[in-house]
Amino acid sequence: MKVQNNKAWLMVLPMLLLVAISAIIPLMTVVNYSVQDTFGNNEFFWVGTEWFQEILASERFHNALQRTLLFSALILAIEIPLGIAIALAMPRRGISVSFCLVLMALPLLIPWNVVGTIWQVFGRVDIGLLGHGLASLGIDYNYTQNTLDAWVTLIVMDVWHWTSLVVLLCYSGLVSIPEVYYQAARIDGASRWAIFRFIQLPKIKRVLLIAVLLRFMDSFMIYTEPFVVTGGGPGNSTTFLSIDLVQMAVGQFDLGPAAAMSLIYFLIILLLSWVFYTVMTSLDNDAAAEQGRH
Amino acid sequence: MASIHLKNLGHRYPAAGAESDNPYALNPLNQVWEDGGAYALLGPSGCGKTTLLNIISGLLRPSEGRVLFDGEDVTDLSTERRNIAQVFQFPVVYDTLTVAENLAFPLRNRGIDNTTIQTRVADTLAMLGLEARANERARSLNADDKQKISLGRGLVRTDVRAILFDEPLTVIDPHLKWQLRTELKKIHERYGHTMIYVTHDQTEALTFADKVVVMNAGSILQVGTPKELFDRPRHTFVGTFIGSPGMNVLSCTFDGTAAIVDGVRIVLNEATLAAAQAQGLASTSATLEVGIRPESLRVIVADASTVDDTHCVNVEVLGVEDLGRHSLVRLRLGEQLLCALHPEGAAIPEAAALRLDPACTLLYADALLVEANDVPLLP
Amino acid sequence: MLRLNNITRHVDSNNSLQDISLELKRGELNILLGPTLSGKTSLMRVMAGLDQPDSGELTFDGETVIGVPVQKRELAMVYQQFINYPSLSVYENIASPLRVAGLAKSEIEARVAQAAQLLKLEPYLTRKPANLSGGQQQRVALARALVKRASLVLLDEPLANLDYKLREELRAELPVLFAELGAVLVYATTEPSEALVLGGKTACLNRGRVEQFGPTLDLYRDPDTLMAARLFSDPPLNSLALNHDDSGGLRFAGAEQALPAAVASELLSAVNPAEAASNLTLAVRGHHLRLGFDPLPSGESTASKPLIEIRGIVDVTEITGSESFVHFSFMGQPWVALLDGIHALAGGAEIVLYARPQDCFLFNTLTGKRVRKLSGGG
C-alpha cells in the first residue's frame, strides 16, 4: 500500500534519456567492437571472445596492470596515513579553521592537466625549480630518462594533488566527535596515541573507507597527469593501463582489442568497488544495529 | 577520597561582559564539602552547575578563586593529575574494547601491573553487576550499562578522590532510571566515595544526596539536607523549585501580629513572628510573601467551626486534578491562586476551607526567609 | 475523529506496529503512553502520513487518508528536539506555515500575535531560535503548531528535553492551549505521571501493541491487564505470584504460611469465583503500602478491615524531603514502597508494611488479564 507518486518518474525521465544517450549507448558500441574484428572498409565480422583471450594472455596487458596496481598501492600507503596525520593536526575551532580548509582545498581545484603541466615544468632539469635545484645540489635527477625518478615524480605529484581530499574527509569525521570523548579520555589519563587509537580512529572508520575507495578508484584510473608529465615513459615504465589503452585505441587504431581491454578494465574496477561497497555497508549495518538498541 | 574546599571561586567567560549586567557565569562562592559525602548540585539550565562541576574536575580553569582537595591546592593541576573521575551525560565507552578492557583502560594508562589490574577490574565488575558481560564489546551494550562502564572506569582506580556526575541519567530509559539511581546510591553507601552529582531533576538530587546545593543564575542559594530544603527553604526560589508542585508563594503584608493575604489573616508561628517584629517588617518597603507547601495544607468542609478557627481560612475551589495517589486542588484565596494536595479517595467539599499549620507557614522578605538573625544562610 | 483499524507496519528487525485499532476523538487529549521503543513515534508517523502502514485502514472524519501526501493533510507536529527554522526570527518561524498556505497578511499577523500571546513569546518575536532558552524554543515550535489550526495535532514527547520545572509549567498550559482548536490531539509520553496530569484518554503501548485504551483515570485505577498496570506505574509496580495451596488458602510464592483466611476471603470477594481458581498474581502500587493504617488520611478508620502483611528486608532508602522510597526485597522480589514522611531505614533492616485488599489488583498469571467480578451480579 505504498503511495504511488508517478510524477517522480516523469522528473527523472529526461535524466534517464541523457544518461542513455551519453553513456549506455556508447558503452554498447564498445561491447559491439569488442567482439568483432575488421579488415578495413568498415567490414566487421564476429570473433567472439578472441580479443578478450588475447588481451588477458598478453604480457603487455599484465605489465600495465601490475604497474597500475603498484602505483595505486603506493598512493594509498602514502596518502591515507599522511591525510589522517594532517587532519589530526588541523585546528578544530577558531579563525584558523577556515584558513586551513581553504589551503587544503586549493590543490583540488586545479584542472588535472594543469597539475600535470606544473609538475612537468617543475621537474625539468633545465628550467624547473625542482629539477634545476636538485641538479645544482649534485643529485642526478631526470624524470624523462630515469624510471625511478619518473615514478617518484608522479607519486609526489599525486600526493600533492590528492592528499587534501583524504584530509578533508577525515577532518569532517574528526570534528563530529563530541567533546565529551576527549574529556573522558583526559580523565582516564589516555596518551595521545591511545586517544587516536581508541577514540578517533574508530569514529572516522566510515569516512576513511570512503576516502580509500575514492583514492583507489582515481589512482587506478589515472591518465591525465602521468600522460602530461611523462607520456608513459621513459620507455613504458610509467605506462599505466589507461595510457596503454589509449595508445592502443587511438594510436594504433586497434578497435577490437582496445574495446575488449576497456571492458576488462571496467570490470576490474567494478569488482573492486563492489568489494569496498560490501565492506562499507556491512560496517554501516553494525553501526545501525547498535543504534537500534537505544 | 577527599574533602573539597572552594575558596572565593568564581568564573567569568571572556566573551561575556558587554551583553549582560552580570558577567559572571558563576558568582564568587565559598564551600566546604566533606570527605565521603554525596552532594547534588541542583538548579535549572544555565544556573552554573555544570560550570562549577567542570571547574572542580579541571576541565575548566576558573577566572578567580582556588580549589583545594584535602587542603592541597589543585587549581593549577590538570584534570589527569587531580585524580577525579567524571561520568558525562552521554555514555562514553571505547567502542573497540570489551567491557573488561574499558575498565582496565585508566589503569593501563597509568602503568599499573597486570595482576593488580585483573583484581581491580574483577572487583569493579562485581560492584556494577556486569560480570556476565565482561568480554562483550562495549558498543553493543545499552545506554544504561554503558553509563555503568563510565562509572566503572572511575571506581576501578584506587586513588580516585571524587566522582563527578554530569546529569548522567539523561539518556537512560525512564523505567531504567530507577535502577541506575538506586545502584549509584548503594555504591555510595557501600564504598563511601565522595560523589558530586549535577542535575536539574529534583527527585534525582534529593534521593541521591546527603546534602543538596541549590543554584540559580550563577549563585548558590542554599545548601542543606533534603528535609531542610523541603521544610525550610531559605529562598522562595528554593521553595518553588523543590517539591512537586512547588511551594505556594502569596504576596502579603505584615501588621505586626500576623501576615495579611488579601485581607485574610494568616497566623504565624512564634519564631517567625518574633523575627518579623525584630526586623520591623510592619513598616518595611521590602516585598513580603508567605510560603506554604501544598503538602501541609488540608482542605476541609467550611462550616461553623471553621469560621472561628484562626487556623482556617475560606477558599474557593477552582478545580481538582486526580493524580492517582493524591489529588491536586486548585484554590483561590482572595485574589491569589494556590494549590493543595488532597488524599486519594477523599471527596472535595464544595464549600471549602483550608486548615493551615503555623509551623509550616513561612514568611519571606525580598525572597529571603524571615528568621532569627543568628541563623547563617550558608554553612 | 481519527480512526485506525488493524494498522500493522514492520519498522525494522526489532520493532513493528501490530494490529492497532484506535478511535481518537476531537477535542480531547489522547495520550500514547509507553516505554522507549514501544512504537509511539512509529505510530505517530503513520498517523501523520510520513510512513505508510503495511496493512490496515486509517480514516479521518470518515475519509481514508492513506496515500494522501503529508503536505495535503491538515496536520501539525511537535517533536522532542526543539525544531525551528534556525535562520528565521521567532515571528517568521510562527508565520511560516501560514505563508506557505498563502493567507492574507493581516490574517497572518493576527494569528501570530494570538499564538505569541498564548505562549508568552511576545518579547522575543525578533530573536532567532539560537538565542532562546530550551523552553522558549519549544514554545516557538508549539506556537507554530497552534497557528496552523490543524485538525490533527501530534505531540511527540515535546517536554522530554526540558528541565523538570519547565516541564511542569508547560504541562499545565498545554491542554488549555489546544482545547479551543477542537482538533484531534495526540500526545506521546513515557511518564505515567504526565499522563495523569494531562487527563483525557490514554492508550498504553508495549512493543507495538495497544495494551489498553480508555479514559486515563479508569486505566490507572482499573487496568485490564498486568502489562497495562505496569506501564502505568511510577514507581514500578510491585507484583508477586499468589498461589492456591492444598488447604484451600492463598499463599505468596515463597512464603511459609498462607494468608489469614479473613484476608484471603476479602481479596477473593471482589472477583469472579470461576477465575479465582486459577493461578493469580497480586500487584500493588508503591504508595498503597503503608507502615500503619489508622487513621487513613481521608479520615476513614480501618480498624475492622483485614490487611495484607508484607515483611521484607530493606535494600536502600531514598528520601526526597517529604517522602521516602523504600526499596526492599519481598520473597526474593524487588519491591518499592512510597511512604509519606522521612523514614531513614538502613539497608538490611526488616520492614513490615500493610496493604488493603481493595488497593491490590489480581491478575491471572497465565493470561495476564485482570481478574474481577463480572459486572451486573455475581
Q: Strand order in C209-215's β-sheet? A: C75-78, C152-156, C184-189, C29-33, C201-206, C209-215
CB contact under 8 Å between C53 and A3, yes or no, is: no
Model pLDDT, residue B248: 92
Model pLDDT, residue B17: 47
CB atoms within 10 A of CB A247: 18
All residues of chain B having their beta carbon less than 8 Å from the beta carbon of residue C133 are 45-46
Q: What CATH class does A59-292 carry? A: mainly alpha
Those residues of chain B that have pLDDT short of 70 are 1, 15-22, 374-379
Model pLDDT, residue A290: 52
CB contact under 8 Å between B207 and C297, yes or no, is: no
Distance from CA of A28 to the nearest CA of B (A): 47
C-alpha cell at B263: 485581607
C160 in contact with chain B, both atoms CB, cutoff 8 A: no
Alpha-carbon span B111 to B134, nearest angstrom: 21
C66 in contact with chain A, both atoms CB, cutoff 8 A: yes
CB contact under 8 Å between C134 and B173, yes or no, is: no
**Chain B residues within 8 Å of chain A (Cβ atoms):** 57, 59, 78-80, 84-86, 88-90, 92, 94-97, 105-106, 109-110, 139-143, 150, 153-154, 171
Q: CA of B199: which chain C residue's CA is closest?
A: C163
Which residue in the set A1, A292, A294 is minimally distant from C52, CB to CB?
Answer: A1
CB contact under 8 Å between A1 and C12, yes or no, is: no
pLDDT band at residue C304 using 50, 70 and 90 as cut-offs: low
Q: Does the pLDDT value for residue C302 go beyond 60?
A: no
- CA nearest to C148, candidates C86, C88, C77, C90: C77
CB contact under 8 Å between C14 and A292, yes or no, is: yes
Please, which chains are in contact with B (at least 3 CB pairs closer than 8 A)? A, C
Average per-residue pLDDT for chain C: 85
**Chain B residues within 8 Å of chain C (Cβ atoms):** 44-46, 173-175, 178, 181-182, 185-186, 189, 200-203, 206-208, 226-227, 229-231, 240-246, 293, 295, 321-325, 343-346
Scanning the structure block, which residue is given the C-alpha cell 498486568? C226
CA distances from B149 to B93, B142, B152, C163 (A): 7, 11, 5, 26
**Chain A residues within 8 Å of chain B (Cβ atoms):** 178, 180-181, 183-184, 186-191, 194, 198-199, 202-203, 289-290, 293-294
pLDDT band at residue C297 using 50, 70 and 90 as cut-offs: low
Considering chain A, what percentage of its residues have pLDDT values greater than 90? 17
pLDDT band at residue A50 using 50, 70 and 90 as cut-offs: confident
CB atoms within 10 A of CB B27: 16
C168 in contact with chain B, both atoms CB, cutoff 8 A: yes
Alpha-carbon span A39 to B250, nearest angstrom: 106
* Mutation site, B182, B231, B300, B301, interface C, largest C CB count within 10 A: B182
- CA nearest to B29, candidates B43, B19, B14: B43
CB contact under 8 Å between B109 and A183, yes or no, is: no
CB contact under 8 Å between C52 and A3, yes or no, is: yes
C175 in contact with chain B, both atoms CB, cutoff 8 A: no
User: pLDDT by residue (tens digit) across C144-180?
Assistant: 888 888 889 999 999 888 888 888 888 888 888 887 7
Per-window interface: C 18-37 vs A, CB < 8 A: 36
Model pLDDT, residue B375: 57
Residue pair B26/B52 in contact (Cβ under 8 Å)? The answer is: yes
CB contact under 8 Å between A1 and C69, yes or no, is: no
Least confident of A248-257, B131-140, B158-167, C331-340: A248-257
CA distances from B198 to A91, B3, B51, B232, C320 (A): 31, 18, 10, 22, 16
Q: Does the pLDDT value for residue A165 go beyond 50?
A: yes
User: pLDDT by residue (tens digit) across C62-87?
Assistant: 888 887 777 777 888 998 888 888 88
**Ordered structural domains, chain C, with CATH:** 2-224 (3.40.50.300), 238-364 (2.40.50.140)
User: pLDDT by residue (tens digit) across C239-267?
Assistant: 988 888 777 778 888 888 888 888 888 78
Model pLDDT, residue B45: 82
C12 in contact with chain A, both atoms CB, cutoff 8 A: yes
Which residue in the set A1, A5, A294 is minimally distant from C66, CB to CB?
Answer: A1
* Mutation site, C320, C325, C343, interface B, largest B CB count within 10 A: C320
**Of C296 and A73, more confident:** A73
**Ordered structural domains, chain B, with CATH:** 4-231 (3.40.50.300), 238-369 (2.40.50.140)
All residues of chain C having their beta carbon less than 8 Å from the beta carbon of residue B173 are 35-36, 190
Model pLDDT, residue B164: 92
- CA nearest to A34, candidates A53, A61, A15, A58: A53
C55 in contact with chain A, both atoms CB, cutoff 8 A: yes
All residues of chain C having their beta carbon less than 8 Å from the beta carbon of residue A294 are 36
Model pLDDT, residue C204: 92
Compute, in degrees rounded to 10, the torsion defined by CA atoms C260, C264, C266, C270. Answer: 170
Model pLDDT, residue B34: 86
Which residue in the set A3, A292, A294 is minimally distant from C67, CB to CB?
Answer: A3
* Mutation site, B84, B120, B139, B141, interface A, largest A CB count within 10 A: B139
Instruction: Kindly write down the DSSP assignment for every residue of C302-350, as one continuous string.
Output: -TTS--EEEEEEEEEEEE-SSEEEEEEEETTEEEEEEEES---PPTT-E
Residue B355 Cα to chain centre, angstroms: 29
All residues of chain B having their beta carbon less than 8 Å from the beta carbon of residue A180 are 88-90, 92
C39 in contact with chain A, both atoms CB, cutoff 8 A: no
C-alpha cell at B51: 560550570
User: pLDDT by residue (tens digit) across A145-163?
Assistant: 888 888 988 999 999 999 9
Distance from CA of A149 to the nearest CA of B (A): 42
All residues of chain C having their beta carbon less than 8 Å from the beta carbon of residue B325 are 285, 287, 338
Residue pair A44/A38 in contact (Cβ under 8 Å)? The answer is: yes
Q: CA of A292: which chain C residue's CA is closest?
A: C14
Distance from CA of A250 to the nearest CA of B (A): 52
Alpha-carbon span B15 to B6, nearest angstrom: 24
Tell me if residue B33 falls in helix, strand or coil: strand
Residue pair C275/C364 in contact (Cβ under 8 Å)? The answer is: yes
Q: Does the pLDDT value for residue A229 go beyond 60?
A: yes
Model pLDDT, residue B374: 58
All residues of chain C having their beta carbon less than 8 Å from the beta carbon of residue A4 are 67
C69 in contact with chain A, both atoms CB, cutoff 8 A: yes
C-alpha cell at B107: 589503569
Model pLDDT, residue A3: 52
C53 in contact with chain A, both atoms CB, cutoff 8 A: yes
Q: CA of B300: which chain C residue's CA is closest?
A: C298
Please, which chains are in contact with C (at least 3 CB pairs closer than 8 A)? A, B
CB contact under 8 Å between C53 and A2, yes or no, is: no
Model pLDDT, residue B21: 61
